[in-house]
Amino acid sequence: MKIILMGIQGSGKSTQGSLLSEKLGIPYLSSGHIFRDIAKEVTPWGRYVKETLNAGYLISDEKTVPIIEEYLSKPEYTKGYILDGFPRTVPQAEEFRNNVDKVFYLKVSDKEALWRLSDRLDEGVREDNTLQAIRKRIKLFHDLTEPVLDYYRKLNRLIEVDGEKSIEEVFSEIVSHVSS
């Protein structure tokens, strides 16, 4: 089973991805984790990725799709995966050739996402988690990623889930669609 989780930052994708991974026995992969790992590299490419992420911008489509496809070509992903944070643009979705089974959109309001993320700001968990960067990523989601939802809706692969429900309720709803 190949699953994509979509939603604005703070919608619960990583929480649900981890739970699904455990339940289904397939790996969870976050594009954000991939790029944050690259940003740690002491190379010009690593520095570029770090500066781009810290400013709240997205890595270009031309660079993103090959990186994600390379990761997914690893043996641990042959039986399926749960992918979070990709595709973020319609060109990425169109270029991505991985026969995705289901796309779950964890729908939360901007206000709810900012409220959830305010705790993370205080913890200083990530260098790219500033209020300005988060607001920019939420705006980018609306501008660039919401059209991807329509792309998958037209392919009959999109399932909208109320991401403002409890973790357990969201998980239960996702699982009910996975097994159907």
Give the residue numbers of the binding site for AMP: 31, 36, 57-59, 85-88, 92, 126, 137
- Cα–Cα distance for residue pair 94/169, rounded to 1 Å: 31
- Cα–Cα distance for residue pair 180/174, rounded to 1 Å: 10
Annotated binding site for ATP: 10-15, 120, 165
Annotated binding site: 10-15, 31, 36, 57-59, 85-88, 92, 120, 126, 137, 165
Token duo for residue 162? 């109320």
Q: Is there a cis peptide before residue 91, judged by omega within 30 degrees of 0?
A: no
- Cα–Cα distance for residue pair 12/6, rounded to 1 Å: 9
